[in-house]
């Protein structure tokens, strides 16, 4: 196995893993955002070194060296100047946006989200007795776009906006102009922006990720930005993420809202995250090339062999949003699970309909082709 080997198929059922344990043998798992690639060698090496020390106590507030590298990355990648003190370590992005909502809202407040969207974002409002306001994305020929008129109207009396950028499940990246319109609406209303940017590193071609907080100091003061190395470097099981909160008062409120819900980041996850950010860039570039080729392969094969499925090449993430409505399958998720033995994510869990499914193409090409072959075969046997 080479340092940048993405083609080797690894049997993941040998160890406990939610992706492959949820469904019985014979079902191909292409659902949860968890790639089937080995971890980058610099991460594995750093973990082996840490395991040489026999004590695994609490990680505390996190190492200063990691705060420094995060601040350096923000400047290098996005031209965003932050202080290492702005960083708060967390066990995950989902705990992060829930903690942020506890900090900045009161029961009955309005929370704006765009749909379809990552299921825990949909669930967050009910966790804190908030009134969720859904703003559907607008379908367009080349994917989906922000419905800026409806979104700015909804933000007018909202306490918070829970942004997902890059967007899960559609794979859209927000343009700077879109983000500026959103940010201006939030500044006008006083809504706090809670921005899930966990997929920010996985962006293709000419598309660029822009952290919304990087637009201006005024926007940064109203924003909690949530990031992690977990999706890019396939270390989600190490339960480590971070919030970037430049405003000291907002940061204090965020930390104060923890209320014993989490004990900070995983001690090994902190090690893995620092190794990823310091030494993983060549691996990341190789990964992005492989994922882009997988994306293009998926779009080409579906276009040739199942043209009824509408798919727009995602600009970011390793997730594809499939519109199967022209196939008249009834419940598309259930059809492909029962007839093709392929497990996708069902559309309704994202606030969409049962004609949509989300497919994870973060896997060796052989598994991707196996999944497409199964879909084609099941449809031919209807």
* Residue ranges per structural domain of the chain: 12-40+281-380, 48-279
CATH for 12-40+281-380 is 3.90.1150.10
d(CA 282, CA 316): 18
pTM over 0.75: yes
Spell out the CATH class of 48-279. Answer: alpha beta
For all residues of the chain together, what is the average pLDDT? 95
What pLDDT band is residue 142 in, cutting at 50, 70 and 90?
A: low
d(CA 382, CA 378): 7
User: pLDDT digit string (tens) for 76-98?
Assistant: 999 999 999 999 999 999 999 99
Per the listing, tokens 């093709």 go with 340
Q: What average pLDDT score do residues 203-227 get?
A: 97
Selection from 266, 317, 279, 231 nearest residue 40 by Cα: 279
The answer to whether 315 and 171 are in contact (CB under 8 A) is yes
- pLDDT score of 1: 43
Torsion of CA 66, 72, 75, 81, to 10 degrees: 70
The answer to whether 36 and 12 are in contact (CB under 8 A) is yes
Can you tell me whether residue 142 is helix, strand or coil? coil
Per cent of the chain over pLDDT 90 is: 93
d(CA 194, CA 109): 15
């Amino acid at each position: 196995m080479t340092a940048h080997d993405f083609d080797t198929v690894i049997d993941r059922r040998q160890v406990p893993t939610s992706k492959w344990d949820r469904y019985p043998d014979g079902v191909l798992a292409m659902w949860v955002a968890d790639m089937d690639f080995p971890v980058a060698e610099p991460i594995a090496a750093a973990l082996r070194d840490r395991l040489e020390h026999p004590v695994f106590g609490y990680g505390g507030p996190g190492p200063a060296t990691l705060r420094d590298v995060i601040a350096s990355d923000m400047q290098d990648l996005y031209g965003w100047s932050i202080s290492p003190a702005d960083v708060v370590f967390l066990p995950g992005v989902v705990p992060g946006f829930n903690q942020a909502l506890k900090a900045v809202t009161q029961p009955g407040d309005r929370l704006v989200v765009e749909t379809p969207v990552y299921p825990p974002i949909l669930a967050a409002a009910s966790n804190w007795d908030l009134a969720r306001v859904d703003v559907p994305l607008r379908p367009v020929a080349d994917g989906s776009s922000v419905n800026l008129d409806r979104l700015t109207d909804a933000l007018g009396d909202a306490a918070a906006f829970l942004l997902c950028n890059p967007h899960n499940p559609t794979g859209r990246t927000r343009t700077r102009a879109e983000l500026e319109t959103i940010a201006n609406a939030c500044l006008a209303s006083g809504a706090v922006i809670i921005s899930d940017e966990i997929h920010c590193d996985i962006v293709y071609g000419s598309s660029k990720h822009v952290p919304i907080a990087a637009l201006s100091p005024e926007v940064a003061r109203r924003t909690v930005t949530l990031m992690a190395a977990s999706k890019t470097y396939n270390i989600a099981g190490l339960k480590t993420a971070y919030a970037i909160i430049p405003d000291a008062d907002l940061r204090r409120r965020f930390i104060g809202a923890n209320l014993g819900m989490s004990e900070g980041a995983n001690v090994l996850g902190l090690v893995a995250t620092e190794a990823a950010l310091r030494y993983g860039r060549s691996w990341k570039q190789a990964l992005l090339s492989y994922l882009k080729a997988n994306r293009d392969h998926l779009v080409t094969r579906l276009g040739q062999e199942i043209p009824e499925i509408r798919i727009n090449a995602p600009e970011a993430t390793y997730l594809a949003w499939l519109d199967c409505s022209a196939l008249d399958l009834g419940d598309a998720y259930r059809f492909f699970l029962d007839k093709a033995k392929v497990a996708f994510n069902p559309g309704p869990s994202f606030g969409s309909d049962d004609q949509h499914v989300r497919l994870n193409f973060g896997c060796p090409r052989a598994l991707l082709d196996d999944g497409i072959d199964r879909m084609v075969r099941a449809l031919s046997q209807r």
